[in-house]
Copies of this chain bind each other. A is one copy, B any other.
């Protein structure tokens, strides 16, 4: 090994930067390329230049590696609803929160597409997505209760909001779709108001 190479290595820090990010990217690539079940954690770690043990230091399990951004999304939703004018009725406050999430996601549509392609192809990943959405609903209900909303009303408004988001998101991901996520959310919320207003 030449002196130049030695110096080069001495200038490097001991490890490549952003191990967690490299693992997440490698995992998404492999899940999309050959599917979640056909990918082993050892392969993910190897592509990231790490070992299986290190993967499990950053992620609780093989599924969690796709859901690193969900806590940021949840914090945005909660803070937006919390900061909404007190005079605003609950259904409008959650609408504002959903649109804030929509704006964040709209910036990364390509990433969302690839990630969702992996998720819809595997039921274990779908399960994990559902519990992340349930966590969103719980946090949203708590934010509404802080605004003075009744427990029952808070839970129902939060669950309805997540239902609206789920359906709008699915339409947004559709390859034939051209519209913004925020617009689809507004349309879905309006439709929910229509269907619940019918009947006895």
Chain A interfacial positions (CB closer than 8 Å to B): 88-92, 95, 123, 126-128, 130-131, 134, 152-153, 155-157, 159-160, 162-164, 166-167, 187-188, 191-200
Contacts and interface: CB of A to CB of B under 8 A. Distances in A.
Given A92-B200, A126-B134, 4 more contacts: A90-B195, A156-B164, A156-B167, A159-B166
Contact of A91 (B89, B163, B188, B196): B196
Nearest to A131: B127
- Shortest beta-carbon contacts, A-B, top 7: A159-B163, A91-B199, A127-B127, A130-B130, A92-B199, A89-B198, A89-B199
Nearest to A93: B199
A126 B193 CA distance: 29
Contact of A196 (B130, B193, B199): B193
Residue of A92, A162, A163 contacting most chain B CB atoms (<10 Å)? A163
B195 A153 contact: yes
A185 to B, nearest CB: 12
Contacts of A159: 163, 166-167
Residue of A127, A128, A188 contacting most chain B CB atoms (<10 Å)? A127
